Amino acid sequence: MNLPESRSTADPAPPQTGKIAKHHLEEWRGKAYVYLCVLLLVVIIFSIVVFIASRGLTPFISQGVSIKEMLFGLKWAPEDDTPVFGALPFLVGSFSTSLIAALIAAPLGICASIFMTEIMPKTGKSVLQPAIELLAGIPSVVYGFVGLSVIVPFLRHTFPGQGVGIMAGAIVLSVMILPTITSIATDALRSLPAGLKEGSYALGATRWQTIARIILPTTMPALLTGVVLGIARAFGEALAVQMVIGNAPHIPHSLFESATTLTSIITLSMGNTTTGSLHNNALWSLALILLIMTFLFVFIVRLLERRVKRS
Partner 1 sequence: MIIEIERLQLYYGAFHALKNVNLSIPENNITAFIGPSGCGKSTLLRTLNRMNDTIQGVRIEGDVTIQGRNIYASDTEVEFLRKRVGMVFQQPNPFPKSIYDNVAYGPRLHGVTKKADLDALVEQSLRSASLWHEVKDVLKKSAWSLSGGQQQRLCIARALAVEPEILLMDESTSALDPISTTKIEELTRELRQKYTIVMVTHNMHQAARISDRTVFFLNGEVVEASETETLFRAPVDQRTEDYISGRFG
Q: Which part of the chain contacts partner 1 (CB under 8 A), choosing from 44-52, 179-187, 194-202, 257-265? A: 194-202
Note whether 198 binds partner 1 by CB under 8 A: yes
What does DSSP assign to residue 272?
G
- The three-state DSSP-derived secondary structure of 26-51 is HHHHHHHHHHHHHHHHHHHHHHHHHH
- Tell me the three state secondary structure of residue 238: coil
In this chain, which of 7, 19, 122, 309 binds partner 1, going by CB under 8 A? Answer: 122
Whichever of 200 and 264 has its CB closer to partner 1, that residue is: 200
Note whether 123 binds partner 1 by CB under 8 A: no
| Residues of this chain, 233-252, that bind partner 1 according to CB under 8 A | none
Return the amino acid letter for 72: F
Note whether 204 binds partner 1 by CB under 8 A: yes
What does DSSP assign to residue 193?
-
Whichever of 62 and 311 has its CB closer to partner 1, that residue is: 311
How many whole angstroms separate alpha carbon 283 and alpha carbon 78?
Answer: 10
What does DSSP assign to residue 144?
H
Note whether 203 binds partner 1 by CB under 8 A: yes
Note whether 216 binds partner 1 by CB under 8 A: no
User: CB–CB of 67/195 below 8 Å?
Assistant: no
The nearest distance, CB 198 to partner 1, in angstroms, is 6
Whichever of 75 and 125 has its CB closer to partner 1, that residue is: 125
Note whether 311 binds partner 1 by CB under 8 A: yes
In this chain, which of 57, 205, 239, 266 binds partner 1, going by CB under 8 A? Answer: 205
How many whole angstroms separate alpha carbon 75 and alpha carbon 98?
Answer: 22
Burial class (CB in 10 A: 0-12, 13-18, 19+), 217: exposed
Note whether 193 binds partner 1 by CB under 8 A: yes
Whichever of 219 and 269 has its CB closer to partner 1, that residue is: 219
How many whole angstroms separate alpha carbon 45 and alpha carbon 126?
Answer: 38
* Chain residues in the site for partner 1 (CB under 8 A): 122, 193, 195-196, 198-206, 209, 213-214, 217-218, 311
